[in-house]
Copies of this chain bind each other. A is one copy, B any other.
């Protein structure tokens, strides 16, 4: 479960789109890159991947941008990390199937599963709710 910049940016983008999911207007790349300091052309690449997954929809031309095309309650950070991140989440042992290697592999798998379990519970909609509550609480301090 390696969280690369690519994965992180993909999650940021999905969350931004989830926040504005109810608005009809699409969100321009510029809006996201400006807000988060993400290199523009890099985010373009990432959004292409997200579109290929069918998770976002692009609208070309003036006033164009991106829109979430899935239900934000069904997508988790785990989904994004596994789809965008490098394949092979675990560690390839490959050597020989010695008892030690086998048992170690189980430990690596257990550790990876523990991470996955956390990220698999974090839905886009859940996180959006959290950020908005977090924002609101700032006014009460």
**Within residues 98 to 129 of chain A, which ones have a CB less than 8 A from any CB in chain B?**
98-104, 107-108, 110-112, 114-119, 122, 127
Counting every copy of the chain, the complex holds 2
**A2 is an interface residue with CB less than 8 A from chain B:** yes
Chain B residue, CB-CB nearest to A15: B100
Interface residues on A, range: 35 or more
Least Cβ–Cβ distance between A124 and chain B, in angstroms: 11
Q: Check B37 against A96 for contact (C-beta < 8 Å).
A: yes
Q: Do A3 and B108 have beta carbons less than 8 Å apart?
A: yes
Least distance between A138 CB and chain B CB atoms (Å): 9
Give me the interface of A with B, judged by CB distance under 8 Å.
1-5, 8, 11-12, 15-16, 35-38, 77, 90-91, 93, 95-96, 98-104, 107-108, 110-112, 114-119, 122, 127, 130-131, 134-135
5 CB-based A-B contacts, threshold 8 Å: A16-B100, A36-B96, A110-B118, A111-B114, A114-B118
